[in-house]
Amino acid sequence: MIARAYLEEAKWVHEKKVPTMEEFMQVGLITSAIPLLSVVSLLGLGNFATKDVFDWVLNYPKLVTASSVIYRFIDDIITHEYEKETRGQEATSVQCYMKQHGVTKQEAIDELYQQISNAWKDINEECLKPFTVPSPVLKRIISLVRVASVVYKDGDGYTFSQLLLKDDITSLLVDPVPLS
């Protein structure tokens, strides 16, 4: 499924196509990689990783969809100019929104941030409901999307991790935490 979505994005780049937001979101939610990473993260959960839990994730519940929206939009807001300059990629949520709604880049970014805020509300709402899956599963998925705030806080930390995330990674894995 993710391979097909990446192929669709490659086709858009090759054709210099800017799809509608609806077309983009059908592909972009998958290429955010949150659904894939959600499934992979379950592998370390032992007895919590049941067939029902995997089926739940693969049916794109509101929590997974909202997490995908957040990651996709944050990634696109931060990287859309670099993607356009280096890869010729026009099909980002920023560009799609601008074209479809005839707005400026800043207006598109403001709207995407509003949708990110709404997606966080959806996540909070889902966490307040009686759990349909064990809470460790929910925590894994939420932690995946929380990574976006670290990876993209100072720019494109995914592409430029040596520059932007080195101190964070060192702090986490190398520097001891003082206990006194």
Q: How far apart are CA 5 and CA 8, in angstroms?
A: 5
Range 4-29 burial, b when 16+ CB lie within 10 A, else e: ebeebbeebeeeeebbebebbbebbb
**What CATH number is attached to the domain comprising 70?**
1.10.600.10
What string of pLDDT tens digits covers the 180 residues of the chain?
A: 899 999 999 999 999 999 999 999 999 999 999 999 999 999 989 999 999 999 999 999 999 999 999 999 999 998 888 788 877 778 999 999 999 999 999 999 999 999 999 999 999 999 998 878 999 999 999 999 998 887 777 777 666 667 766 877 788 788 877 787
Q: Which residue has the tokens 């059908």?
A: 26
Domain assignment present for 161: no
The model's pTM: 0.85
Cβ–Cβ < 8 Å for 58, 35: yes
| Domain-located, residue 140 | yes
For the record, the structure tokens of 141 come out as 């998925």
In sign, the C-alpha dihedral spanning 138, 125, 132, 5 is negative
Domain count, the chain: 1
Owning domain of residue 146 = 2-153
Q: Is residue 137 part of a domain?
A: yes
Residue 145 placed within a domain: yes
